Chain A
Amino acid sequence: GEDVEQSLFLSVREGDSSVINCTYTDSSSTYLYWYKQEPGAGLQLLTYIFSNMDMKQDQRLTVLLNKKDKHLSLRIADTQTGDSAIYFCADVTGTASKLTFGTGTRLQVTL
């Protein structure tokens, strides 16, 4: 079945850029999401990218998609302490309502 992998932990200093990476195995992915989860909370959709796009920018967030390598990244510019959370990538293959999530990357922002 589909597999989505992420590194477990990333630590950055406040004001720096953060880059969170994700790899997936299913080449038929139609679109991919990035979600944020804060402690004790559900999942908040940050952004998404269609599989026919290479890049998408949304304020401080930039998503890059390399379909050839099945690699997705999320760049957060000017990272703030409020960005500390777990970030999940998720892809959709086939039915639009079934998401396959990555393992999650815990982002720690230090002063």
Chain B
Amino acid sequence: KAGVTQTPRYLIKTRGQQVTLSCSPISGHRSVSWYQQTPGQGLQFLFEYFSETQRNKGNFPGRFSGRQFSNSRSEMNVSTLELGDSALYLCASSSGGQTYNEQFFGPGTRLTVL
């Protein structure tokens, strides 16, 4: 099985712009979760999409949004970029079960905001 893919791998934007990141989960997986990793705050949960619906949400401002398509691919959007949004954005895919379900992470998209 192919792993989780994220595009692009690297992105440079300026303050005030918006950005869209993409995540393709492992075939057959219906859940995609997004995490932000920064040196100061560590790894923080952004949100999870399951069957095209947002199922869980972390404590991030409304500038961070996402969606999931019928093929389970997910996109994450950040509007009005701030310097503090510079981070590694990781997505994880899983079967989406409500008990134990192993999450497989992609390589991440490194976003730099200038």
Report which A residues bind B (CB closer than 8 A): 30-31, 35, 40-45, 48, 50, 88, 90, 95-104
Q: Is B75 among interface residues, defined by CB-CB distance under 8 A? A: no
Given contacts A95-B56, A103-B42, contact A42 B107 (CB under 8 A): yes
**Number of A-B residue pairs having CB atoms within 8 Å of each other in the complex:** 66
CA distance A95 to B43 in the complex (A): 17
Collect the chain A residues with CB atoms within 8 Å of residue B58's CB: 98
Chain B contact surface mostly: strand
CB distance from B57 to the nearest CB of A (A): 9
Total chain B interface residues with beta-carbon distance under 8 A: 29
Please report the C-alpha to C-alpha distance between residue A99 and residue B43 in the assembled complex, in whole angstroms: 9
Q: Is the CB of B45 within 8 A of A96?
A: no
Expressed in whole angstroms, the Cα–Cα distance for A98 and B45 within the complex equals: 7
- Complex: how many Å from CA A104 to CA B45? 15
State whether B55 touches A97 (Cβ < 8 A).
Answer: yes
**Which of A90, A96, A99, A101 contacts B100, CB < 8 Å?**
A96
Are B90's CB and A97's CB within 8 A? no
Q: Interface-forming stretch among B63-71, B76-84, B91-99?
A: B91-99
Interface pair A43/B100, CB less than 8 Å apart? no
| Minimum Cβ distance to chain A for residue B64 (Å) | 15
Residues of B within 8 A of A31 (CB): 100
